[in-house]
């Protein structure tokens, strides 16, 4: 596949997640919740979690408004974090942060890296990194401080 074809495919995946976000809406009986805001561009996101007794993400959802990148990233994040342990979720988040900053993300399992690779091009646009990472940082805040 050529670079242009791959770039177009990645753009389509981002647009699909942005237009048809997965796990969108408030989560009834959430055990954790946090709100995130990017004042540079106006992106807002609220992340809702139901953490199981062992810290596993039993359910996750988000609400928010913002650019296609922030909404797509939140949608992908909720898809990928559901069912993960706290340790697995942290490793995934760190790998994603490395990926969008253009750093080495080879420590991610191959299937996770392939799914997240669509956001890899963000590293070429430093101002958009905050858009891509907003939901992930908000998730982390929900886990650490957002018990409802």
Confidence of residue 5 (pLDDT cuts 50, 70, 90): low
In angstroms, the CA 116 to CA 144 distance is: 24
Nearest to 23 by CA among 76, 70, 98, 86: 76
In angstroms, the CA 46 to CA 123 distance is: 24
Whether pTM > 0.95 for this model: the answer is no
What are the structural domains, with CATH classification, of the chain?
3-145 (3.90.1010.10)
**Tens digit of pLDDT for each residue in 48-107?**
999 998 889 999 999 999 999 999 999 999 999 999 998 999 999 999 999 999 999 888
**Tens digit of pLDDT for each residue in 90-116?**
999 999 999 999 999 888 899 998 888
Structure tokens at 147: 């018990």
């Amino acid at each position: 596949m050529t670079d242009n074809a791959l770039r177009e495919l990645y753009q389509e995946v981002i647009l699909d997640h942005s237009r048809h976000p997965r796990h969108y809406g408030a989560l009834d009986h959430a055990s954790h919740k946090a709100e995130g805001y990017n004042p540079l561009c106006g992106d807002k996101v609220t992340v809702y979690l139901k953490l199981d007794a062992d810290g596993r993400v039993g359910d996750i959802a988000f609400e928010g408004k913002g650019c296609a990148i922030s909404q797509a990233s939140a949608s992908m994040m909720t898809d990928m974090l559901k069912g993960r342990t706290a340790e697995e979720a942290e490793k995934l988040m760190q790998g994603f942060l490395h990926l969008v900053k253009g750093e080495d993300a080879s420590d991610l399992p191959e299937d996770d890296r392939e799914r997240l690779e669509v956001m890899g091009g963000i590293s070429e646009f430093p101002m958009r990194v905050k858009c891509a990472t907003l939901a992930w940082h908000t998730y982390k805040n929900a886990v650490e401080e957002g018990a409802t």
